[in-house]
């Protein structure tokens, strides 16, 4: 099995969330060729492999541990010069999930080769739809995590040198919430603003005042971001429009801050309407929570890294989202950054992952899983 060629094949054929049909079929074919058992789950895309340890002492309760890797690509047009660049127009593995897939395959195969020596059972989860922010829930709904002691995951990181591990207790990535707002006023001629209820003025005041939630309501010891990323209103130069549309995102590092910002945000919307006479329709969409890395697992991950001569560092909180957090609401878990070489960031059309990590990172995760 040539894991580098397998990686390149997956890189050439990225598929979007819940459309990973070729990817799922390919993973299944490779694993079955290597004698790895696939669980018969009701998943349209994605799959779960199982490796049953054959050295479990008689009369003891079997323990199960899991390794998760996500498999979907992004709607990004690749702009690299790689000889194995994406063949799918407008789609790219710009978040390194091709590395994750390949790592998961090698982890499953290595565990299967060692099964006569294993004292536990292991699940290798190939999760669909991470970029949709809720693919983890599809896996959880199958019930396979019910008796899992701990789950381990990885994510490549182009802010770390190749092969360096980023290990951090508690939150390593943030919660993700989204908001959409339609502010409705009264349209009028631009020369007669007194006849209007100006939604642009009201929405602009809202945008500029919104940051006071962070600066005056959130502790400086907590991490939080509120960003308005889309503001649209009007159609011509001399008409005050009737409506303005806003949308954006909220990111936090803990549930208490997340709840506080949601409450203050909604109160601010109501107060803004009272001040300007507008009516606002708010759609507040809650997505994944912040990750919560178990401290004991973090210490174990560092010990194993030292044992296999890999460098590990404590990384700062990243305000990106990761739906692995849903797994950590079911059982204890850890997600580890894997340095893929300094370069363009995740989701960038020029992103490149140094695939040389596939020569040793899967072995690291096998050692970590066996040590749990």
Buried b / exposed e across 44-71, counting CB within 10 Å, b at 16+? ebbbbbbbebeeeeeeeeebbbbbbbbb
Q: What is the rounded average pLDDT of the residues 202-214?
A: 96
pTM over 0.85: yes
What percentage of the chain reaches a pLDDT higher than 90? 96
Contact 129, 33 (CB under 8 A): no
Question: In which element (H, E) is residue 127 found?
Answer: strand 121-127
Over residues 48-104, the pLDDT tens digits come to 999 999 988 888 888 999 999 999 999 999 999 999 999 999 999 999 999 999 999
Fold agreement (3-173+289-371, 177-286)? no
- How is domain 177-286 classified at the CATH fold level? Alpha-Beta Plaits (3.30.70)
Whether pLDDT at 177 is above 90: yes
The residue ranges of every structural domain in the chain are 3-173+289-371, 177-286
Write the CA distances from 99 to 94, 96, 102, 128, 267, integer angstroms. Answer: 11, 5, 5, 15, 43
Average pLDDT, stretch 296-318? 97
pLDDT at 58: 81
The CATH class that applies to domain 3-173+289-371 reads alpha beta
Q: What are 162-171's pLDDT values in tens digits? A: 999 999 999 9
Question: What letters, b where the CB count within 10 A reaches 16 and e where it falls short, cover 244-276?
Answer: bebbbbbbbbbeebbebbbebbeebbeebbeeb
d(CA 354, CA 4): 11
pLDDT confidence tier of residue 18, bands split at 50, 70 and 90: very high
Contacts of 187 (CB under 8 A, 6+ apart): 196, 239, 240, 241, 242
Please tell me the distance from the alpha carbon of residue 111 to that of residue 5, in angstroms, as a whole number: 21
**Residue 161 pLDDT more than 90?**
yes
Distance (Å, whole) CA 270 – CA 251:
21
Cα separations in angstroms, 313 against 151, 165, 297, 334, 339? 21, 6, 15, 15, 10
> What is the arithmetic mean of pLDDT over 139-157?
97
Distance, in Å, from the CA atom of 47 to the CA atom of 57, rounded to the nearest integer, reads 29
Give 101-144 pLDDT, tens digit per residue. Answer: 999 999 999 999 999 999 999 999 999 999 998 999 999 999 99
- 10 Å Cβ neighbour count for 343? 14
């Amino acid at each position: 099995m040539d894991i580098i060629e397998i990686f390149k094949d997956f890189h050439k054929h990225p598929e979007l969330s819940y459309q990973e049909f070729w990817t799922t079929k390919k993973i299944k074919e490779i694993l079955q060729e290597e004698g790895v058992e696939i669980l018969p789950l009701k998943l349209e895309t994605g799959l779960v492999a199982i490796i049953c340890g054959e050295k479990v002492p008689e009369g003891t309760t079997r323990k199960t541990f899991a390794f998760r890797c996500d498999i979907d690509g992004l709607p990004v047009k690749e702009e690299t010069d790689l000889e194995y660049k994406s063949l799918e127009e407008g789609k790219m593995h710009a978040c390194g999930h091709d590395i994750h897939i390949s790592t998961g395959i090698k982890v499953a195969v290595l565990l299967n080769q060692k099964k006569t020596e294993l004292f536990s059972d292991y699940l290798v989860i190939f999760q669909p739809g991470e970029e949709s922010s809720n693919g983890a829930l599809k896996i959880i709904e199958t019930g396979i995590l019910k008796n899992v002691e701990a789950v381990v995951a990885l994510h490549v990181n182009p802010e770390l040198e190749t092969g360096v591990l980023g290990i951090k207790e508690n939150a390593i990535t943030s919660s993700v919430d989204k908001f959409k707002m339609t502010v409705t006023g009264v349209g009028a001629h631009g020369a007669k603003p007194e006849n209007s209820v100006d939604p642009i003025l009201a929405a602009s005041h809202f945008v500029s005042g919104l940051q006071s939630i962070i600066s005056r309501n959130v502790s400086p010891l907590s991490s939080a971001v509120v960003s308005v990323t889309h503001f649209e209103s009007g159609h011509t130069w001399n008409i005050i429009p009737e409506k303005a549309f806003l949308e954006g995102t909220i990111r936090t590092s803990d549930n208490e801050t997340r709840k506080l910002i949601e409450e203050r945000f909604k109160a601010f919307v109501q107060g803004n309407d009272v001040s300007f006479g507008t009516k606002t329709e708010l759609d507040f969409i809650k997505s994944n929570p912040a990750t919560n890395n178990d401290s004991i697992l973090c210490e174990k991950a560092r010990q194993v890294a030292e044992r296999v001569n890999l460098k590990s560092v404590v990384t700062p909180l990243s305000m990106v989202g990761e739906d692995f957090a849903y797994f950590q609401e079911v059982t204890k878990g850890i997600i580890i950054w894997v340095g893929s070489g300094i370069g363009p960031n995740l989701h960038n059309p020029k992103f490149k992952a140094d695939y040389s990590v596939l020569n040793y990172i899967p072995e690291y995760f096998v050692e970590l899983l066996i040590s749990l």
